[in-house]
Chains A and B, each alone.
Chain A
Amino acid sequence: MSDEDMMDDEAGGGVVKKFLYVNRKAPYGTIYALESLEVVLIGAAFDQDVSLAFIDDGVYQLTKGQQTDGIGMKNFSPTYRALEMYDVEKLYVDQDSLTARGLNAEDLIVPVEVLNTTQMAELMETQDVVFSF
């Protein structure tokens, strides 16, 4: 990443807010998933209370066995496994989105907490900052 040098550790001034990154798009086809992950990684340096939510086609970002050679793109899914090292450990996945796509938590590359729609809404309600990608 090219912009670590532009971070400012003093920017937060000791404030800790609840940040939620809502990932709604498939990992390939558009750049939203990849660039969302870049924000998460940079944001981790600010010591905020970070959660990630995966909704709609966003659940595909976490599926096991991604094979991207045929589309000439980098498979960035291993990065989700590294999030733990950045103290990003709260990953939430929408139950209905999994079910609609024939997936369950065992199909995903990282441990997640599966939430129903009501629980997801409650999670969002408690946040200070919600990034939607």
Chain B
Amino acid sequence: MKFGILVNEGPYTHQASDSAYQFTKAALEKGHEIFRVFFYHDGVNNGTRLSVPPQDDRHITNRWSALAKEHQLDLVVCVAAAQRRGLLDANEAKRNGKDADNIADGFRISGLGQLIEAGIQADRLVVFGD
């Protein structure tokens, strides 16, 4: 089956991102296809490469990046939600006159149309949030 995944909460405060990761990983291991993982609301904060959790804790962002690399996952961060919350790639940083970017490996910034497209293309769209 082809899944679309929507992650609506940020890392650590809410379990939604962990659950989305576990679901995505399990689905891939069972041979399902993940059309796209879309990060919205505070979910965009899953895509920062600047988080430094304690060493004995899971690294939520690195875990997504590694899964994306292994399975060529499409991890998309909503541009409007990301700009509100200070999550930028090099292009967005330049375009908005900021002195740094912070997006992690394997993530890309794009528009909400990518979420709608995931809804259209996937057999099931699964929402992880509160």
Contacts and interface: CB of A to CB of B under 8 A. Distances in A.
B104 interface: no
B113 A8 contact: yes
Contacts, number: 79
Contacts of B106: none
A87 interface: no
Interface string A118-133: 0000000000111111
B80 A1 contact: yes
Given A2-B83, A130-B127, A132-B127, A38 B117 contact: no
A7 B111 contact: yes
A48 interface: yes
B120 A15 contact: yes
A15 B120 CA distance: 7
Task: With a 10 A CB-CB cut-off, give which of B78, B81, B110, B111 has the most chain A CB atoms.
Answer: B111
Contact of A39 (B79, B110, B115, B121): B115
B111 A38 contact: no
B59 interface: no
A13 B117 CA distance: 10
B80 to A, nearest CB: 6
B24 interface: no
A46 B120 contact: yes
Binding site secondary structure of chain A: mixed
Contact of A129 (B40, B83, B114, B125): B125
- A contact residues, range: 20 to 34
Contacts of B119: 17, 19, 48, 128-129, 131
A45 interface: yes
Contact of B79 (A6, A17, A31): A6
Contacts of B40: 35, 39
Contacts of B125: 129-131
A63 to B, nearest CB: 22
Interface in B78-130: 78-81, 83, 110-117, 119-121, 125, 127, 129
Interface of A: 1-8, 11-13, 15, 17, 19, 31-32, 35, 38-39, 42-43, 45-46, 48, 128-133
Interface of B: 6, 8, 40-41, 78-81, 83, 110-117, 119-121, 125, 127, 129
